[in-house]
Amino acid sequence: MHVIVGLLVAALLGYLVYRAYFASAAATTDAATPRSERGVAFLSNGQLFCRERGGELKQVHSTYVQEVLDRLERTRERHSWKKGTSFGIAAGGGMRSFEAGGVPLLVTSAAYEANGNLLYFLKDEAIGGLFRREAASGTEQRVLLKQNLHLGDLNPSPEGGLLAASARQTAGVANIVLLKDDGANMRELTGGDSVDCAPAWIPGASNRLLFQSSGLARNAEGYIVAQGPASIQKLDMESGSVTPILDDPRYDHLKPRVSPAGDLLYIRRPFEAPHYGYGSMLADTLLFPFRLLRAAFHYLNFFSLMYSRKPLTSANGPAVQADVKNILLQGRRVDAEKAVRSARPVQGVPSLVPDSWELVRRDQQGAERVLATNVASYDISPDGTIIYSNGRGVFVLSQEGTPQLVLRDELVAEVVAAID
């Protein structure tokens, strides 16, 4: 017994030394890495951050969100008398909260316009809105506000006046939409049982778009059971025809972009087909009695709260924050802790995605070249400069292909190149 305890203590000390060593090494590498002063914006946990060239990193605060927060605070004050009474018991058995939430609307996408204005889309469970932050004054304009609207992958046209985006539907379907930059005349460009997103303008061809598309598989009841590999398609907006550009069942091809030189850029990663094997079936069978007991407990706990105002357990405390260990990057759930341990750091910055997530450039003759690995998101500025993120840092790619650190953060889900 003493030997086992000694081994556990030794293993714990070794792990702590290991973590301290690599944290120190990463900090030393980061301090020695020159930082680019290039302007950039990025999304992190539903919040929008930006940094102008040579400026400080700051969060973009929406005046509309502040108005919603003020309304929630007034609602909390009106309902504060219900706390501790049977009116405060929710249908699920827990205590109903009348507190004002942190941020009721989350940013789903952002993009810079040619004049430097910043577009971003905010949504909650019921409503979505498109907003513009003027570069000169920093004031916010409300462009579009509509119930059950969910836009993503905003991409203004290079000439201005139009905006391409993806519109999410309640059934899991997403279509490419086109609208004016003032929010008017929104129309769907694609349809079908698929997830169409990440529209990209083609320089010199204003009536054509590239986009990412994945087919959906449903069971007999109509529920989505699988999503196919992402391919790159070309849409002719005049004829409505769609032409495949890249389609390989072994890979996902994500976020197509066309450089000023006419080259196609995209993220390539191995496609992971969903599977439900015997192991999952066995786990579900073994856990079924425990799940049934849990449901029965919550049912009885609800009646205990209703009639005695006392729960069967003391677990009804403050709401626990969401587990940040598992995050969603490019439609795939990523185990952040596992990725940091196994993925290769970039310039000393830990990566949240593996080496197999590659940024690829394909020239007009069809020749491909891998520009960077561990790429979670990327963007191209109007002058052709490429910036990308490995999930924890933002980098600018030099002409020689060497990444230069722009900034680092706990989570960089989507990166947007500023108009410098």
Average pLDDT, stretch 370-376? 96
**Higher per-residue pLDDT: 99 or 228:** 228
Per-residue pLDDT tens for 48-73? 999 988 788 999 998 888 777 777 67
Provide the pLDDT for residue 335. Answer: 77
Per-residue pLDDT tens for 110-148? 999 999 999 999 998 888 999 999 988 889 999 999 999
Q: pLDDT confidence of 32, banded at 50, 70, 90?
A: very low
Provide the pLDDT for residue 66. Answer: 78
Provide the pLDDT for residue 318. Answer: 36
- State percent of the chain over pLDDT 70: 74
Q: pLDDT confidence of 280, banded at 50, 70, 90?
A: low
**Higher per-residue pLDDT: 192 or 309:** 192
Provide the pLDDT for residue 276. Answer: 54
Provide the pLDDT for residue 310. Answer: 61
Provide the pLDDT for residue 52. Answer: 87
Say if residues 355 and 344 touch (Cβ distance below 8 Å): yes
Cβ contacts of 195 within 8 Å, gap of 6 or more: 172, 173, 174, 213, 214, 216, 227, 331
Provide the pLDDT for residue 302. Answer: 56
Q: What is the dihedral of CA 404, 410, 414, 416, to 10 degrees?
A: -50
Provide the pLDDT for residue 22. Answer: 42
| Residue 34 scores a pLDDT above 90 | no
1, 21, 249, 331, 367 from 10: Cα distances, Å? 14, 16, 47, 40, 52
Provide the pLDDT for residue 54. Answer: 77
Average pLDDT, stretch 396-409? 89
| Residue 415 scores a pLDDT above 80 | yes
**Geometric angle at alpha carbon 315, from 314 and 319, rounded to 5°:** 135
95, 96, 321 from 318: Cα distances, Å? 10, 11, 9
Cβ contacts of 192 within 8 Å, gap of 6 or more: 173
Per-residue pLDDT tens for 141-188? 999 999 999 999 999 998 889 999 999 987 789 999 999 999 999 999
Provide the CA 213 distance to its chain's centre, in angstroms.
17
Average pLDDT, stretch 280-298? 69
Q: pLDDT confidence of 299, banded at 50, 70, 90?
A: low
Q: What value does the mean pLDDT of the chain take? A: 81
Provide the pLDDT for residue 25. Answer: 41
Provide the pLDDT for residue 100. Answer: 45
> CATH says 39-277+333-417 is which class?
mainly beta
Per-residue pLDDT tens for 202-218? 988 889 999 999 999 88
Which of the listed ranges 80-89, 95-104, 219-228, 259-268 does the model predict with the highest average pLDDT?
259-268
**Higher per-residue pLDDT: 81 or 200:** 200
Q: pLDDT confidence of 332, banded at 50, 70, 90?
A: confident
Q: pLDDT confidence of 324, banded at 50, 70, 90?
A: very low
The ranges assigned to domains in the chain are 1-32, 39-277+333-417
Provide the pLDDT for residue 146. Answer: 92
Average pLDDT, stretch 389-400? 91
Provide the pLDDT for residue 325. Answer: 55
The C-alpha atoms of residue 123 and residue 60 are separated, in whole angstroms, by 15
